[in-house]
Amino acid sequence: MRKVIFLDRDGTINIEKSYLHKWEDFEFEKNAIEGLKKLKKLGYEFIVVTNQSGIGRGYYTEDDLIALNNEMMKKLKEYGIEILECFYCPHHKEKGIGKYKVDCDCRKPSPGMLLEGIKKYNVDINNSYMIGDKKGDLEAGEKAGLKSILVLTGYGKNTVKDIEDNYLIANDLLDVTNLVK
């Protein structure tokens, strides 16, 4: 079984930018690469799970997102960091358009993307984590049976006021390495 860290993308791996979908606008969060390198040395593999309602709202396409994720994975690979897969939810039950206007089980805080990753990659949930900057990330991790860690990057500094004490908190992905075993 695999030890995996499930990662939210926007605000966790990269700097939060409204409906980011172009590689030229992508910037890694402070200490993200260093943190991922250290987590890899601790034996973790990585899966990205990201809500992308911008697709459902018609702001950009699934192809735009896939191209951006592929560039991110290519850049991370240059640092020796491999992402097993990037799962994404394009849906939004109120603001989605057409086929994207659905109440799905993949949009965080629902655990659908995580459960799919757990099954597909034979993840050891007792030794794996969900890391993100929003309450929905933490709740999705909890619903999937994972320990969840809030990072204070992205929306994390605002989120910290609204979460229960049962979640671990780290300044950024490098600081996460002090909380995992």
Question: Which of these is catalytic: 8, 133, 137, 172?
Answer: 8
* Distance of alpha carbon 4 from the chain centroid: 12
**Is 103 a residue of the active site?**
no
How far, CA to CA in Å, does 10 sit from each of 14, 16, 19, 38, 41?
Answer: 5, 5, 9, 20, 23
105-127 burial, b at 16+ Cβ within 10 Å, e below that, comes to: ebbbebbbbbbbbbeeeebebeb
143 contact partners, CB below 8 Å, separation of at least 6: 109, 110, 111, 114
User: How, if at all, do strands 83-89 and 129-132 pair?
Assistant: unpaired
**Is 165 a residue of the active site?**
no
Sign for the CA dihedral angle at 176, 177, 179, 180 comes to positive
Scanning 19-61, the segments in alpha helix (DSSP H) are 32-41, 53-56
The set of catalytic residues is 8, 10
